[in-house]
Chains A and B, each alone.
Chain A
Amino acid sequence: DVKVTQSSRYLVKRTGEKVFLECVQDMDHENMFWYRQDPGLGLRLIYFSYDVKMKEKGDIPEGYSVSREKKERFSLILESASTNQTSMYLCASSFGPSSGNTIYFGEGSWLTVV
């Protein structure tokens, strides 16, 4: 089974703090993604990476950055957390079009910024 592991399930951070969300996948997938999910807004893509050290902006990249130093690991960074970044963050991975773009998600990280 594909496993996408997000290191933190629940976090509470203060406004202005730097926040790191870590994600590891064990299926040798080329592509990795970070989404946030909010009630009434659905899943929104923040960033994705199609190879090591490569990244592409998604639909809502402002206030976020990412790092992919190894194929299996993709980190989301909130440089200066703000209350409007309180959300559920989902990491995902896929092989890409060769496998129908099927995406596999982690369990999610619930971030509260106070």
Chain B
Amino acid sequence: QKEVEQDPGPLSVPEGAIVSLNCTYSNSAFQYFMWYRQYSRKGPELLMYTYSSGNKEDGRFTAQVDKSSKYISLFIRDSQPSDSATYLCAMSAASNQKVTFGIGTKLQVIP
């Protein structure tokens, strides 16, 4: 079993929809959680990061962490065609520098 599980999709939604992207993990030592967005043939760019359970909001994006369920989510409100990309979750323990990534979910927002 992988440490981080993420559905690769693809996920297709109409413009304006609320998108929910999710990851589950098995390592209870993970304390830092990140979401990256990767456009085709580009490097991943950091979207959001959070430490501990709860919600963090940044514009149309909300990151949610539920440590008790080992489950993290990224919500995108009022989705736009420009949000079409692959979204990778990432997480790490506080005790070392290694970051573990999900495989990425490919999202397509249809105009």
Residues of B within 8 Å of A100, CB to CB, are: 32, 34, 49, 51
Nearest chain-B residue to A108 (Cβ)?
A: B43
**Taking the nearest CB of chain A, how far is it from the CB of B106, in angstroms?**
10
B99–A101 CB distance below 8 A: yes
Interface residues on A, range: 20 to 34
How many residue pairs link A and B with beta carbons under 8 A? The number is 58
Residues of B within 8 Å of A48, CB to CB, are: 97-98
Partner of A97 from the list B36, B49, B97, B101 (CB cut-off 8 Å) is B97
Does A64 sit within 8 A of B, measured CB to CB? no
The 10 closest A-B pairs by CB, nearest first: A105-B43, A42-B103, A101-B92, A100-B32, A43-B101, A108-B43, A107-B43, A96-B97, A105-B44, A101-B32
